[in-house]
Chain A
Amino acid sequence: EVQLVESGGGLVQPGGSLRLSCAASGFTVSSNYMSWVRQAPGKGLEWVSVIYSGGSTYYADSVKGRFTISRDNSKNTLYLQMNSLRAEDTAVYYCARVEHSSGYPYYFDYWGQGTLVTVSS
């Protein structure tokens, strides 16, 4: 059974840093495309970042240069390092597996339950 479990959320001051983790089971993270998606309180879904199985990474403009997606193959875990956090980064952060074909990403087939990040002084 595929499972994704996020952790690492919490309250952080503006300008601070936080690292989110997403522990996967039932499949191999390094063989898949993996993404982070966030949702601000009362708002819609916003794609944040993706890492391809080959290691290529891509980011939304809103987080480029501040967030870094990575993975630890030995732990089968996905990470999101978030630096220079702003109030507008406050959201529930979901990790999700991305179904892909012929090197192209398509849809998010499995999601974690999410972890809340609150940026406030």
Chain B
Amino acid sequence: SYVLTQPPSVSVAPGKTARITCGGNNIGSKSVHWYQQKPGQAPVLVIYYDSDRPSGIPERFSGSNSGNTATLTISRVEAGDEADYYCQVWDSSSDHRGVFGTGTKVTVL
């Protein structure tokens, strides 16, 4: 089955840039989507199709995808960005299964 690997945690100072990686075999050939989840809340889509932002998501959130790594970048980090972040793909090679990354906890110092 397809595996997506994320760093367990990323720490960043306010106003700085956070980069969260999502590693997978030839992930650059897939569409990657990212979700933000705050404690006690449902996940919220923040990036879809590698780099598109849903309406209402700040431009500070951006994404890229190439080779074996996809990256979610949060610029000018704010305290409200502290949350868990998950990448996601759909693995059609494995009987149409959704796959989530292991998740990254972003801490704003």
CB closest residue in chain B, given A106: B31
Q: Is the CB of A107 within 8 A of B33?
A: yes
**B61 interfacial by beta-carbon distance below 8 Å:** no
* B residues with CB within 8 A of A: 1, 31, 33, 35, 37, 42-45, 48-49, 54, 84, 86, 88, 90, 92, 95-103
Known: A50-B96, A105-B96, A107-B33. A44 touches B45 (CB 8 A): no
CB closest residue in chain A, given B104: A44
* Bound Cα distance from A105 to B99, whole angstroms: 12
- Residues of A contacting B103 with CB < 8 Å? 44-45
Q: Is the CB of A106 within 8 A of B100?
A: no
Q: Is the CB of A104 within 8 A of B92?
A: yes
CB distance from A116 to the nearest CB of B (A): 11
The A contact surface, by secondary structure, is strand
Within 8 A of B (CB), among A52-109: 56, 58, 60-61, 94, 99, 104-109
CB closest residue in chain A, given B88: A107
Q: Is the CB of A47 within 8 A of B42?
A: no
Within 8 A of B (CB), among A13-66: 35, 37, 44-47, 50, 56, 58, 60-61
Which residue in A35, A46, A60, A107 is a CB contact (below 8 Å) of B45?
A: A107
Most chain A beta-carbon neighbours within 10 Å: one of B37, B42, B43:
B42
* Bound Cα distance from A44 to B45, whole angstroms: 15
- Residues of B contacting A105 with CB < 8 Å? 90, 96, 98
